Amino acid sequence: MNTSQTTPDATVPPSFPIQITPKAVQMVKMTREAEKLDVGSGLRIAVRGGGCSGFEYALDFELEPRETDWVQEFDGLTIFVDPVSARYLTGTEIDYVLGPTGSGFKFNNPKATGSCGCGSSFSV
């Protein structure tokens, strides 16, 4: 299990790859509670192939990290990121936004070179 420590492997970020705003943490906790999940469930943030632009963000709850995961706690919420996803997510800030057209998680990913209107699909 990786933490926010420097590693000699150049393919893995030297610090935790993402940041998550307090509002996003609050909304994840509210969702976890609404779904009646164990309070110890962490949030897995991943990148998968697919979506309109080639890649898509995935958010899932899990109880335990995988052996090679990057793990970080944000205000009582544990976040898990696998090493492959970390390469695509390095520098990303996740926020929760409310707007006239809806609300949801917003990924501000500096590695994304394009995205589509859905907000969950991107290209690099």
pLDDT > 90: what percent of the chain? Answer: 55
Per-residue pLDDT of 98-114, as tens digits, reads 888 778 898 998 887 65
CATH number of the domain enclosing 22: 2.60.300.12
List the single range of 9-18, 30-39, 91-100 with lowest mean pLDDT. 9-18
The answer to the question of residue 8 being in a domain is no
The answer to the question of residue 7 being in a domain is no
The answer to the question of residue 80 being in a domain is yes
List the domain range (segments joined by +) for residue 103: 18-123
Residue 12: pLDDT over 90: no
Angstrom distance (rounded) from CA 83 to CA 89? 10
Q: Considering the entire predicted model, what is its pTM? A: 0.78
* Total number of domains constituting the chain: 1
Alpha carbons within 13 angstroms on the beta-carbon side of residue 19 total: 7
Residue 10: pLDDT over 80: no
pLDDT at 115: 59
Tell me the mean pLDDT in the region 63-79.
95
